[in-house]
Each structure stands twice: as C-alpha cells, then as structure tokens.
Chain A
Amino acid sequence: MARSLRVQDITKIFPRSSRPALDEVSIDLSNGEIMALVGESGSGKTTLLRIIAGLANPDSGVVEINGEVVWSIGIKTKLPEERNIGFVFQDYALFPHLNVKDNILYGLHKMHPKSERIKRLIEIIKLTGLENLEERFPHELSGGQQQRVALARALAPKPNFILLDEPFSNLDPVRKDSLRDELRAIVKESGISALIVTHDTRDALSVADTLAVLKEGKLEQVGSPERIYFHSTSEYTASLFGKVNRIPCQLFKGEGAPSESTDILVRPVDLEITKDPSGDVHIVGKVISTNFRGDFNEVTLECREGLTESESVTHVSIYVGPERNLKLGDTVTVRRLRR
C-alpha cells in the first residue's frame, strides 16, 4: 500500500536537556490508515507531531510526505504551509473572528474557481454533520461541535494526511466515547489517513488501526491494538495499556533439562476461575480484596504456592462477573485462558 508519511530515524535534542526528546524514531503511515501515537507526557509524541507538521525541526533524520522528502539535512525545508497537512490542535485553535463556514473556507484559498470551494465546503459540512451550524461562531458551539469544526477545517483542503494533537482531552467525559467513535467514522469515510497523539490508551485502542508506543523518546512497539494489548513486547507497554499480573513460573525445557525461573505477564481478563484443579496450569489463591468496577469485580488473590517452589507471595488480579459472589478469605483456583 502506498505511504502517506514516512518518518525515519528522527532525533531531536532540546538545548539544556540531558536526553534526546526523540531518539531515532521511525514510523510509516499508509494511505487511509489511522495511527495512534501513545506515550506518557514527556515521551516526545507531541514533539514528533510538530516535526512532521513542520512547526519544529529535528536535528537529524528524514521526513517524507507522499514520497517527497520535506525535511532532511542538506535539503531545503518545506514550510508548514507548503506541506499540505491537516492539523487538529488540542484546543482546536478555531479562529474566534470567523464563523464555522469561514473557518472551514480558510484553508481553501488556493482552490479555484470559487464554486469549487463552495462545493467542497458543502461536501465537508455534510461529512462532519455540521449542517445548520455554518453561521455560528466558535464560542457558540459545544466542545464536540468545536472538535468537528476543527476536523472539518483540517480535512477540507484534502490534505495528504491529518495530525490530531490530543483530540479527546477537552471533551466532556460522558460524551467522550461516542464523540471518539464519531471522529473515527468521519476520518475513515474521508479516506484521509490520520496520525493521532494521545496519552489515553483507552482512546488509542478504540480509535486506531495501528498503535505506536513511545517511551522517553524511543519507539517501544508498533502494531495493531490487539497485538499491543495482548502481546506486548515489554512490561512497560503491557502496563501502559492496562492492568497486568506478573507471575513467577518455572520454564521446563523438555525432559531432564534443568528448569528455569522466569516471570510471565498475564492480563486479568486472561485468567478465569475454574473448579477443576487438575490438568492445565493453574494457581490457587485466597481472596484478599474485591473492588466493584461496574461491569465486573476486580478481585485480588494472594497466592503462596504457585508455579514456583519459592516461598514468596504473589498478588494476582482477576476480573469476576458480578454474579459470582466471592467473599474475603475464600480460596479459588484460577487458570489461564488460551488465546
């Protein structure tokens, strides 16, 4: 598939800073793909976004848009206004003196004749569901509507791709989930690829086709949401996306070979309570706390004997349906689901 964006070995060091903000980061964005750039604050995700947009320049590396190099050492840098990228700012940055219609038209100044512009305006208003709001000013819109205007403004000039900086952080938590799905639907329908920066892993999992995890300026892992969630390559990534149990175990390498101690990472949803202690690998533990979490209870088990022979105590979290009535002190047997 053709690539909208290719970022290669980008390094950026801010003055008076001990470690690079970005350390040889490379990502590819295919046409029509939605990618989420995930990381804690200070991981360099916003810096990377600004470098792609041309609002900041890296120290080394290559930025390539639609096969054309726009930043590389020794090459004349393409300015932001020459890169044809849509950008949805965290605070939306809607022009307060322009109404919805004029905000969207702002980026269409190069489109001629005027009828062409109006055609695109109507098209984009329909796509983003902004009908009847054209004459409103930004301060007369709700947070979700403002986001749709920002999205419409970024998509209108048919950019090579769009960049979204923490698009969900300003939304009302109650409506956030539906607005997020709406955003994904709009971007997918437009056919324009998108790179979203977010620190909220829940948002990232549900909005993106591909996730890229950044840790302290380095790319940690890239892959589909399922892969990242269930097959994290590091404990950092695993715990970034949700609760994970670290369970010590013995690794048997066939008959007669010495066993090896190691830890495995298992998500609570990958563990289920079983009555049958025989057969498969299992853990026995005592319930020491239960937490009501709405759809399920989070139950913490204290396991003294487990897969290892050591005396150490391991705490294991499991998610249990509300129908199962577990009390403190109950002993349960847990086994791992096969995926």
Chain B
Amino acid sequence: MPKGLLNINNQRFSSFWWWLSAAFIAVVLFSPLTVVLSSLFKAPGEGWELITEYLLVDYILGTIIMTLGVGLTALFLGVGSAWIITVWDFPCKRFFSLALLMPMAIPTYVMAFGYSFVKYDIRDPLMLFIKNNWGAVIMSQSNEIFNYGLAILILSFALYPYVYIAARVGFSEISGTYIENSRLLGRGLFRSMFSVGLPLARPAIVGGLLLAVLEVMNEYGAMTYYGIETLTTGIFVSWTDLGDKDSAVRLAAVAMVFVLLLIAIERLLRGRAKFHAHRSSSNNLSGPTRTNAGAVMAFLFCFILFTVSFALPVINLCIDTLHGWEKSKLTDLIKGPLIDSFIVSSIGCLGIVIAALVISYAARLFPTIFMKSITKLCMLGYAVPGAVVAISILVYFSGMGSFLSEFLGFGSLTSLFFTLTPAGLIIAYFVRFMTPALAPIEAGMIRINASMDEASSMLGRSSWGSFFNVHLPLLRFPLFGAMIVLFVDILKELPLTLVLRPPNIETLATTSYGLIQKEERIADGSFPALILVLTGTLAVLALHILIRKRIVNK
C-alpha cells in the first residue's frame, strides 16, 4: 500500500478505497488515449498513403495557419484590452471589464453562425464580382484567402477572452511596488507597464494563449462552416466520408503530437522564470489617461471589441431567429434537444465533479509521486481535441467489444451498449473535461490546511467523515464554479457529441450545427444557438458573481 501524508491513512481500507478509486478513474480516462498514440507504431493501412499524398499537407498547413493566425490576433486583442483596462481610467471601464468576458458565452461555431450575413451578403456578391472581372481561378484563390481571414477573425473574437483573463490576472498579481519603482526611476506609466509589467505577466499570458490555441485545434464546427481543412476536420473526413478507421486514428495521433508540441512551446516561452509576485498593499496600477483623446481611444477600443465579439453576432442570431418564428418550434425544441442536452450535461457534470473530488482527495491522503502523476494524466484530455478523444473512445471500446466476444461471447452486446446508450459519450466527456473540474478542486484542496484533517481525525472522524464534514463544505465555492463551467462546456460541445451520440439523442449543439451547416436552415438553427448563448451568458455572470463574493468573503 502507498505511504500517506498523515501516515495513519495507509492503515485502513476506508482510506485505501480513495486510492483505489482514483487509480481506477485514471486508467479509464487515460487508456483510450494510449490507443491513439500506439497507432503511430503500427504499419499504416492503404488509405493512409492516399491521405499522405493528397490531404495531409493541407491538413497540417491549415492547422498551422489557423493556430498561428488566431493565436496572434487573440494575443493582440486579449493583451491589448487587458492592458487598457488595467492601466487607464476611462468612462464605462467597470462595465467593459466584465463585458469583454462575454464572448466566452458564445461557442466558436455559434460565433460563426452569428456572422452568417457576412457569408451570404458580403462574400458571395464579392466573389461573383471577382469572377465576372478576373475569372474563376482568381475567384477561388481569393475565396480561400477570404475564408481563412474571416475564420481567423471570428475564432479570435470567440477565444480572445482566454488571453484577456490570463493577462488581467497576470497584471493584477504584479506588485504595485515594481511599477512604482519604475516610475520613480523616471519612466512613465505606459513605458513602465511595457518594460516591467508585460515581462512579469508573460507566464500567465502564455498560459491563456495556450488555452485559446488548443481550442483552435479542437474546432470543428466553424472550420467546416468556412470550408477550412485542419487535422480535426481531417479526422472526420477519413472516418465518415472515406470510412477509413485506421487513417482517422493515425490523423488523431498526428493531432496529438501537434498538441504536445504546442504544450512544449508554451513551456519554452514561459521560460525558467517563475515570477512569484511579492505582494504589497499597493496593487493599483491604474491612473487617468494624459489626454481626453486617450480616454476616448481606450473607450472606443473596448466598445468596438465588445460590439464585434458579442453584441453584433447575438443581435444577428436574434434577427435570424425571429425571421422564421413559429410557436411550434419552441415546443419541439423543448421536447427534444433541450431536455436531452440538459440531462446529458447534468449527468456528465455531476459525474465529473464527483470523480474530480475522489482524485483530489486521494491525492491529499496519499501525496505520492504516483498520485501526482495520476492527477496530471487525468488533466491531459483537456488538451486533446474532441475529435481525437471521440476516435480513441470508439476504437477502445470496439476493441474491447471484439475482445470480449472472442473470449466470452457477449462482445456484440458491449458494442451495442456503447452505440445505443449515451455511456460512451459520457465517458468521452470525462476524458475531455476532467481538467475544468479537477484544477479548481485541487487548488481548493491545497488551500485547506493539513491541520484541518488532523483536527478532524483527533475529534474521532475517519477519512470519510472528514471528507463529508470538512473538505466538502470548504470546497463549496470551487465545486459550484466547476459545475457551472462543466455544464456549459458539455452543453456546447460539438465534435465529440457528433461522433458518439446515440441516434436518439440530439443536443442543442448538434441540432444547431445540423440545421445551419448541413441543411442551411439558418432561421431554424439560430434558435438553439441562441439558447446556448443565453445559458453561457448566465454561466459567465454567475461565475463573475461567485468570484466577487469569494473575494468579499475573504
């Protein structure tokens, strides 16, 4: 048995139970991903040759262009807005500090749907004009450039908040004394922020940027909407259109290598420097702008960013929804996708939170290297694109099915179980979304002093008793926050759900995507999309209140 922190814990089964459960969860979460990586070492099938010859370069190029383009644009938008809000006082600053978060409520593909008018009212006439004047070849080239540019912009609108939050946190953790010192040494506020603030906040900003770029890797809906080919869309093409399972798995492996590369780059950019902010009472970096024109510029930047990344697409979705409004749509939606979505999200959300609690409490009882690695492994799924997770789950369980049918004779039943019930889908959510639950719960656990555990045990409580009476109530804030994030994450999840949902389940995400992308029924598809935005908005506001309340409580 492993050795524990309070070396008392390794003596009773009640404590060991936690260890065993955590190890079990880690195996279930991690083993499907190994299937994908191991495919790299197997001999490729015939279809793979076809893909390497014609498609792979395009997939990789598309992935690089999109990650680079969105990364840089989101970096500019996120750091720029965070900087303006941190450094300057201007009208409506408090409103914008929250409002600039709101695009988080809009799923990337819904953001694309929100800009449907660009596709039809601007791009198509423009392309027709080009074709009439310069011919079809020029048109197809400019069409591609136009699509890339639009996709990069729209994904950046949806994803810059990751960088914005990270930069805000990074700036806020810089002790005011650094900036004050720099100013006393003769540099202005603006230059001080540039020469001191930005380098100090760099690790945080790079971390936020990584999240945004990983979301680009994960993106499926918006990419197909603009006809852009990436590794993620490639997985779908070879799986569904070409029916080539082996190649899909190999593409997934390539995507995973790409992700690992991105993580390595992040580590590199972050550097060895781990800046521990030395806290001081003075943490207020902001001051008035030197001129009124500066204040107007700051206001305009925030106003325009908020308009294009939130107000405009939401208004457009509302208009589209009202366009073909019939009352029956509401009842159809509620009876079908709405209920399905909420049930699936609630089950996933509850299950994941419970699993995260088990893992983090086990890691607390047994703070060994083994448990730490388990925690890290469970967090890997968040970096892996949804399509890759979907493929690995499918391959893993069909492999398990055939294994069982060979040796026990009821394998086909297992396969049926995973294709006809949402079990496979829920497990996939576990793999992909363990991090949003585990990270805050783990952080909350760390904040609970070890003497709390000891005090509880001295007062006669076992590890179970302590968990329910001390840890669980002390973790209520991170728990609640994790549940909100998870619920919305699952609700808006698209690629995983598309692949793994049983035929009788439609979520809001798949409904909206199916209607708008596949059937071009914009008016019908906008309504479920709007509900997604609404739930997302409520979640962002709830989180905001939660965080503020927490700060006030402290």
Contacts and interface: CB of A to CB of B under 8 A. Distances in A.
Interface string B466-487: 0001100110100000000000
Nearest to B454: A55
B449 interface: yes
B8 A95 contact: no
Interface in B427-462: 449, 451-452, 454-462
A93 B460 contact: no
Contacts of A86: 458
B11 interface: yes
B470 A77 contact: no
Contacts of A154: 458
Nearest to A53: B458
Contact of B473 (A80, A91, A93, A97): A97
A90 B450 CA distance: 12
Given A95-B452, A110-B460, A55 B8 contact: yes
Contacts of B462: 79, 81
A153 interface: yes
Contacts of B460: 81-82, 84, 107, 109-110, 157
B451 A91 contact: yes
B261 interface: no
Contacts of A80: 6, 8, 454, 457-458
Contacts of A87: 454-455, 458
Interface string A136-166: 0000000000000000011001000000000
B278 interface: no
A279 interface: no
Contacts, number: 73
Contacts of B458: 53, 55, 80-81, 85-87, 154
B331 interface: no
A84 B6 CA distance: 17
A107 B6 CA distance: 19
Contacts of A107: 459-460
Interface in A62-86: 77, 79-82, 84-86
Contacts of A97: 470, 473-474, 476
Contact of A79 (B8, B455, B476): B8
A55 B7 CA distance: 7
Contact of B456 (A53, A79, A82, A106): A106
Contact of A95 (B7, B465, B470, B476): B470
B12 interface: yes
Contact of B457 (A79, A91, A95, A153): A79
Interface residues of B, number: 23
Interface in B1-25: 6-8, 11-12
A57 B476 CA distance: 33
A241 interface: no
A153 B454 CA distance: 13
Nearest to A80: B457
A54 interface: yes
Contact of B455 (A77, A82, A84, A89): A89
A81 B451 CA distance: 14
Q: Taking each of B12, B451, B460, which has the highest tally of chain A beta carbons within 10 Å of its own beta carbon?
A: B460
Contacts of B474: 95-97
A55 B474 CA distance: 22
A154 B459 CA distance: 7
A106 B449 contact: no
A57 B7 CA distance: 8
B459 to A, nearest CB: 3
A264 interface: no
Interface in A308-332: none
A110 B6 CA distance: 23
Contacts of B461: 81, 106, 109
B448 to A, nearest CB: 9
A interface, by DSSP: helix, strand, loop or mixed? loop
Contacts of A110: 460
B16 to A, nearest CB: 13
A76 to B, nearest CB: 9
Contacts of B459: 81, 106-107, 153, 157
A33 B462 CA distance: 29
A56 interface: yes
B375 to A, nearest CB: 24
B369 to A, nearest CB: 15
A87 B461 CA distance: 13
A90 B454 CA distance: 12
Given A55-B6, A157-B460, A93 B455 contact: yes
A128 B542 CA distance: 42
Contacts of B7: 56-57
A106 B469 contact: yes
B454 A89 contact: yes
A54 B11 CA distance: 12
A80 B461 CA distance: 9
Q: Taking each of A82, A106, A109, which has the highest tally of chain B beta carbons within 10 Å of its own beta carbon?
A: A106
Contacts of A77: 8, 11
Contacts of B455: 87, 89, 93, 95, 153
B73 to A, nearest CB: 44
Contact of B449 (A54, A56, A93): A93
A96 B12 CA distance: 28
B467 to A, nearest CB: 13
B452 to A, nearest CB: 6
Interface in A95-146: 95-97, 106-107, 109-110
A220 B118 CA distance: 86
Contact of B11 (A79, A85, A91): A79
Contacts of A109: 460-461, 465
Contacts of B465: 81, 109
A65 to B, nearest CB: 13
Nearest to A54: B8
Contacts of A106: 456, 459, 461, 469
Given A56-B7, A153-B459, A89 B470 contact: no
Interface string B243-283: 00000000000000000000000000000000000000000
A97 B468 CA distance: 13
Contacts of A82: 460
B11 A93 contact: no
Contacts of B452: 93, 95
B320 to A, nearest CB: 47
Contacts of B454: 53, 55, 80, 87, 89, 93
A137 B514 CA distance: 54
Contacts of B12: 79
B25 to A, nearest CB: 26
Contact of A81 (B457, B470, B473, B476): B457
A109 B474 CA distance: 19
Contacts of A55: 6, 8, 454, 457-458
B331 to A, nearest CB: 44
Nearest to B473: A97
A79 B11 CA distance: 8
A93 B455 CA distance: 7
A250 to B, nearest CB: 55
A110 B465 CA distance: 12
Contacts of B469: 106
A55 to B, nearest CB: 5
B8 A91 contact: no
A107 B473 CA distance: 17
B364 to A, nearest CB: 15
4 closest A-B pairs (Cβ-Cβ)? Answer: A107-B459, A93-B451, A93-B455, A87-B458
11 contacts: A79-B457, A80-B8, A80-B454, A81-B465, A89-B451, A89-B454, A91-B449, A93-B454, A97-B474, A106-B469, A109-B465
Given A55-B6, A77-B11, A157-B459, 16 more contacts: A53-B454, A55-B8, A55-B458, A79-B12, A79-B457, A80-B454, A81-B461, A81-B462, A93-B451, A95-B452, A95-B470, A97-B474, A106-B456, A106-B459, A109-B465, A153-B459
